[in-house]
Structure 1
Amino acid sequence: MSIHAFKMQLKPGVVAEYRKRHDAIWPELSALLSEAGIFDYSIFLDEETLSLFAVLKLRDDNRRDTLPDHPVMQRWWDYMAPLMEVQPGNQPREWPLPLLFHMD
């Protein structure tokens, strides 16, 4: 198992809509993430900067690298693109966050 943390960026005025869409996450997306070896996934908001901080755990045999090519993932990114900073293809821009401290 490994832990992956990264930052994303919301656009102004979309926090409520972002929360609403994640509260109603598509079952097929949730299943896809689980099948790719992702579990215990949380996203936190810095309300002052609108930065999102994501932390997820990955199984050792994860296939997270296959997600960008999956049609369900691509549809989700298209759905979320109006709310976030994205790359070409609507994948959210991610900034990795290095681990500085962990306490079990």
Structure 2
Amino acid sequence: MQRVAFTMKLFAGKAAEYKKRHHEIWPELKSLLHQAGIRTYSIFLDEATNTLFGYLTIADATKLDELPKEPVMQKWWAYMQDIMETNADHSPVSMPLEEVFYLA
């Protein structure tokens, strides 16, 4: 399994709404993520900076490149654009993180 980590940015005052939306994640989005090979996916919030830290495991990280083409992914991004920083296509502005240590 490959480990992938990244950060995103939440708008101030939107933490409760972000949590609510993820608590109610759409079944079709959850299914898409599983079909892509994602087995573990966690998002953490640094409330002091509104920085989101995402971490997932996936068999083949190149499968992540296919997700933006999926209509349910595009719909989710549009749904989330009012509470977090997004690009012109509504995808979250995200910064990949380099793994510098791993203890198995």
Cα deviation for residue 60 of structure 1 reads 3.0
Deviations 1:29-83 (A, max 9, x none): 0000010111100000001000000000011386221110110000000000001
Q: How does 1:1-104 map to 2 (within 5 A)?
A: 1-60=1-60, 63-104=63-104
Unaligned runs of 5+ in 1: none
Distance in 2, matches of 1:61 and 1:6, equals 13
Preserved CA contact (<8 Å) 1:38 1:62: no
Distance in 2, matches of 1:18 and 1:98, equals 25
Name the count of aligned residue pairs.
104
Aligned partner letter, 2:59: R
Unaligned runs of 5+ in 2: none
Residues 19 and 61 (structure 1), Cα distance of their counterparts in 2 relative to 1, 3 Å cut = closer
Runs of 4+ in 1 over 4 A off after TM superposition: none
